[in-house]
């Protein structure tokens, strides 16, 4: 099984990378900022892996990464950032940055992963948040970006 995980350098991404390393033939781990956190993640991995530093909100960077991945069985869109502020105080740049990374980034990864997936048995897993359903004070951009990943009924 060939698995791509975005946001693999910490938190849930690290947990998934380590857990899936015993069940995967190859992991492709995507992260953005923290090289040290990524090194800590791969210390616990037993499978073969490649790591890619990538701003998934930028299509050119996503293209560069996915060109290096020959086949994909599972894509896990896990990357998530937040820039919290009350709605009336939120700057448009904070709104756009969170939407671009959390929602557009997932779209771009899907767009460039699908051509490398087998016709049957491939999966895309979009990690959302309870905040997508419940909302919370000061996280309107994060809640909106995660709600966009929720399956429709």
- Give the residue numbers annotated as catalytic, written as ranges: 142
Q: Are 141 and 99 in contact (CB under 8 A)?
A: yes
> Of 38, 70, 41, which Cα lies nearest the Cα of 54?
38
Give whole-number Cα distances, 41 to 7, 31, 35, 63, 117, in Å. 11, 11, 10, 24, 25
Q: What are phi and psi of 48, to 5 degrees?
A: -65, 145
The pair of three-digit structure tokens given for residue 145, joined into one six-digit string = 């970006």
Cβ count within 10 A of residue 94: 17
């Amino acid at each position: 099984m060939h698995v791509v995980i975005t946001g693999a350098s910490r938190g849930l991404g690290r947990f998934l990378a380590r857990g899936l390393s015993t069940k995967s033939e190859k992991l492709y781990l995507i992260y953005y900022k923290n090289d040290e956190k990524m090194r800590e993640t791969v210390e616990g991995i037993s499978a073969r892996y490649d790591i890619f530093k990538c701003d998934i909100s930028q299509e050119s960077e996503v293209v560069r990464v996915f060109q290096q991945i020959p086949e994909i069985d599972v894509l896990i869109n896990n990357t998530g950032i937040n820039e919290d502020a009350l709605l009336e105080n939120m700057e448009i740049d904070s709104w756009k940055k969170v939407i671009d990374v959390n929602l557009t980034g997932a779209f771009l990864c899907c767009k460039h992963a699908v051509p490398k997936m087998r016709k049957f048995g491939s999966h895309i897993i979009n990690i959302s948040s309870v905040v997508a359903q419940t909302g919370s004070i000061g996280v309107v951009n994060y809640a909106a970006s995660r709600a966009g990943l929720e399956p429709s009924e």
